[in-house]
A and B are shown apart, each in its own frame.
Chain A
């Protein structure tokens, strides 16, 4: 496959960036998107040019490190996958592919396509945990948990914190991420003890960091590589309302 890439290049956080055109040739349709980026970077290095900086780590869709806004979609045009799981067969030969970084005020660009997602860590630090004195190993069935709730908590915990929800949201809202992290605790008895402070502190931190508000457009759910449901957002709204009125 021959492709025309249009990639956002920015040398540093406070520098003006711009789109640069890169043609790439003889890309296998079975190559992954990031392998295609590696091939481009090898060519750039061989030509003495600066390679394109982009985030990646496990390359098997579980670490949440890769990002990229590809042709208007977070993690590219395919559903329910991360960019590292995207393959070139999803594109047409000769296609122009526009590659942009996540764009949100709380996610400042570090370089090229890399953004700083520390804002998510700060939200987790504000309440995304349970304070448990870990003593001996408790008996597995000491606390009964409904199967449905265990499943829903597990579904919420599938969030890898990649930031696609923020990137896809027209308001750069982090509601899907925060609600998944609130839900995974709120659904389980261990998380209920600190539920009130957790939802209040995490939402306050989310607002402080400058994420937008939720307009219930559900673009986040559509673009989430882990299919996190917007039902979590409603759960967080319930938790928040309950915390505020109690």
Chain B
């Protein structure tokens, strides 16, 4: 990567990739929620099977990986440049930021990245590389699909996994709370009429995504 890209170019790419990942989060949440509405896991497994085999989705999967890679790499580069820009820190620094969670984007980002690696190992690699998932048996018949739902349910029956998951998803919410409005600002989309709406929607989006994902392990754990 050419490190001489200007600060604004990097921020524009950062925001575009961020917005792309935010759309992905909505799709992913939508699929996950199917687990709550269908105790037989059939709906969830069918969608998971579709997502894992559809050729268009398979291509898009690489676009998604690239999105993550660019977003993470740029985030790290920008943060290192930011640290270099202030070699000596203040002894006393009051909070004057309007967007509080903006101070912790690198910290929440790194924790989300660690979670992503674990998440990837638990699901993607397990299924795609090791084929380590039992087939989905529905009413005594092998459907030919992997039982992804069972994999999720088994993990969410472990209290330590549920607690860790909830903590990470709350941090993701904090990350998104700043990210949403910040992406629009980086793209130059600031308007006296619409910016307050964007900020408000960003808060709602962050809460819905965070609590939406958290709801699933809670329901599975307490109804097991």
Contacts and interface: CB of A to CB of B under 8 A. Distances in A.
Contacts of B186: 214, 216, 237
B94 A71 contact: yes
A39 B49 CA distance: 77
A103 interface: yes
Contacts of B189: 234
Contacts of A100: 90-92
Given A71-B92, A241-B187, A171 B86 contact: yes
B185 A230 contact: yes
B99 interface: yes
A170 B82 contact: yes
Contacts of A69: 90
Interface residues of B, number: 39
A237 B98 contact: no
Contact of A103 (B7, B88, B181, B185): B88
A218 B101 CA distance: 12
Given A105-B86, A237-B11, A216 B91 contact: no
Contacts of B88: 103
A173 interface: yes
A56 to B, nearest CB: 21
B87 interface: yes
Contacts of B78: 213, 215
A85 B93 CA distance: 21
A73 B92 CA distance: 8
A6 B85 CA distance: 25
B105 interface: yes
A186 B68 CA distance: 35
B185 A104 contact: no
Interface of A: 6, 19, 69, 71-73, 77, 98, 100, 103-106, 168, 170-173, 175, 203-204, 206-207, 210-219, 221-223, 230-231, 233-241, 244
Interface of B: 6-12, 78, 81-82, 84-94, 96-99, 102-103, 105, 178, 181-182, 185-190, 192, 195
30 contacts: A19-B91, A71-B94, A72-B93, A72-B94, A98-B92, A104-B85, A105-B86, A106-B85, A168-B96, A170-B86, A170-B97, A203-B6, A203-B7, A212-B81, A212-B84, A213-B11, A215-B78, A215-B102, A216-B182, A217-B102, A217-B103, A218-B97, A218-B102, A219-B98, A233-B190, A236-B8, A237-B185, A238-B188, A240-B9, A241-B8
| A-B interface, 10 closest residue pairs, ranked by CB to CB distance from nearest | A234-B190, A238-B188, A72-B94, A212-B85, A218-B98, A171-B82, A237-B188, A217-B102, A216-B182, A172-B85
